[in-house]
Amino acid sequence: MKASSIVALLTILTAFSGCLGADDVEQEATIDPFTINKDTYQCFEFEERERCWLTYIPEQITRTSKAPVIMELHGWSASSFEQRTLSDMILLADEVDAILIHPEGIADPNSGAFGNNEESWNSGYCCGDAKQLEINDVGFLSELINRTVQDLPVDEKRIYLTGWSNGCQMSQRMALEASHLIAAVACTSGYLGVTETSNYNPIPVLEMHGFLDEIALYTNSVRLAFFEDDARNTEAIQNGAIENLYDWASHNGCSGSITDENQPNLFYTVQSFNSCENNSTVALVSVYAGGHNLYANDAGEIGGYPLPGNQGLYDTNKIIWNFVSQYSKD
């Protein structure tokens, strides 16, 4: 190659790199890789089973964020995807800059449980495959919280649990047995399914329940007895929304024999114990015309019972968030 050709080629390459190199290098250096894959489905092995979950991270969250976490648990026979669609909690996550986690329960066609091969949580006296197989869901969810804190830009002092039905029961079991990880719990249409724990440190708990709940009755607990014999637990059958409130008041060392706050409005009333250990308020939101599904969207049916939503008459997600967001771990 002639010297003149080499010089010309070098000149062109230098000009080309000058046009693209500096700006591109600077742009690449400022790209936050955390903006990629903000909506993922992942799995890991836990106690010889594959356990999975959905993660949603709002666009405005970066690696330097200290975001709260909302972990939302689906009901029996639902899934992480179905719960996210039902509740629309993703809209709230965008609004309040929270990372949203939807874990997956267990389904096993060989469990022998009623409704087998339908995802469920072992919340104590309920439900399905998870209960039948004595799945360690407290261990799985605790590990998932630890991994979330380790891998994502979250504020570990603001880990909140919520859920629906069996997911609400599981959220309350987590409150009682993994209180060191959780700042507060607020959930819908389910009662605490365990009675004792040795390591509980009181945290705030709210349960939201419809007077007309056709699955987990407001007055005396589970109609889940129509699902499976092993749901016919004496403690469970005696339990109802009011008793659940008082059970939590007892767990949290609340003073007084009756609630010290009652806030009625057009659609529901809020009763709460506020003088409790660790500032751990206990509350019950009783929805006057509410059934088992208290979200705005319809949820199909369970056992022949239709589960219409509230069609936006009140914002269940905001009620949940307004409660839990008041609290953080010390």
CATH of residue 123's domain is: 3.40.50.1820
Q: Which comes out higher in pLDDT, residue 29 or 156? A: 156
Give the pLDDT band of residue 13 (cuts 50, 70, 90).
very low
Position 49 in a domain: yes
As a whole number, mean pLDDT of residues 126-134 equals: 92
Position 262 in a domain: yes
Cis preceding linkage at 126, omega within 30: no
Residue 258's pLDDT is 84
Weakest mean pLDDT among 78-87, 140-149, 258-267 = 258-267
DSSP state, residue 90? H
Distance CA 102, CA 202 (A): 24
Helices (H), 104-232: 128-132, 137-151, 166-177
Position 23 in a domain: no
Position 119 in a domain: yes
Position 20 in a domain: no
Count of beta carbons in the 10 Å neighbourhood of residue 190: 35
Position 14 in a domain: no
pTM: 0.86
Residue 112's pLDDT is 79
Parent domain of 166 = 31-324
pLDDT tens profile 282-325: 999 999 999 999 999 999 887 677 899 999 999 999 999 999 99
Which residues is 298 bridged to in the sheet?
A: none
Position 9 in a domain: no
Distance CA 157, CA 173 (A): 19
What is the phi/psi pair of residue 269, to 5°? Answer: -125, 150
Domain total in the chain: 1
Position 17 in a domain: no
